Amino acid sequence: MRRLFLRDLALAFRAGGGGLTGLLFFLAVVAIVPFGIGPDLKLLARIGPSILWIGALLAALLGLDRLFQAEREDGTLDLLLMQETPLVLIVLVKCLAHWAASGLTLALSVPFLGLLLNLDAPAIGATMLTLACGTPALTLIGAGAAAVTVALPRGGLLVSVLVLPLAIPVLIFGVSATQGALEAPASFLPPFLILLALNLLFAVLGPLAAAAALRSLED
């Protein structure tokens, strides 16, 4: 499992990997917004956390279709299906590697991108925390969609269509927790705990759904 994690992490940061592509897309989205909104710094500071969350959600979708695609093309997926290790655990490790290359990287880039949106230190810290704790759910949701579309030649768009409706609750509670930390600290904990609960929920449902979809390919 350790070797599988390191292998997927290395593939994500190679040329054409989803990690760097998602980070560049995130940077592009956040950099363009101030030009569209205008020079109102107070407005940027107020909606900045929401912009960062929306940009991170869209950037996280870019590499989901490749979560199992490479293994499907070179035959590695057949070997993984024959392993004695439970397939659910294999899927969970691959999701962890994908999150480390995409979601965690996006969260760590918030201090730099927050300056473009005129965010202060508390806003940057709250956004980093909620993104780091919310992006795993996006990857776990995407695992099931990626497994369903792995046999399709161009399943990237379908993965996005399947993931977006399920990702809306993560977006809502992530933004709510960030805004609560800035406006009323007492209102930060309830949406943040719900965000963590969504991670636990999809940590069970995501790998199970992905494993069932991958097993169906053997039939």
Task: Work out the pLDDT band at 156, boundaries 50, 70, 90.
Answer: low
Which DSSP letter does residue 52 get?
H
Residue 204's pLDDT is: 92
Residue 198's pLDDT is: 94
The Cα–Cα gap between 132 and 135 comes to 6
Give residue-wise pLDDT tens across range 41-64: 788 888 888 999 998 888 888 878
Interval 70-98 mean pLDDT = 81
Domain that holds residue 9: 2-216
Task: Work out the pLDDT band at 15, boundaries 50, 70, 90.
Answer: low
Task: Work out the pLDDT band at 101, boundaries 50, 70, 90.
Answer: confident
The Cα–Cα gap between 95 and 49 comes to 25
Amino acid at 28: A
Interval 145-156 mean pLDDT = 73
Q: How many domains does the chain have?
A: 1
At 154, phi and psi to the nearest 5? Answer: -135, 80
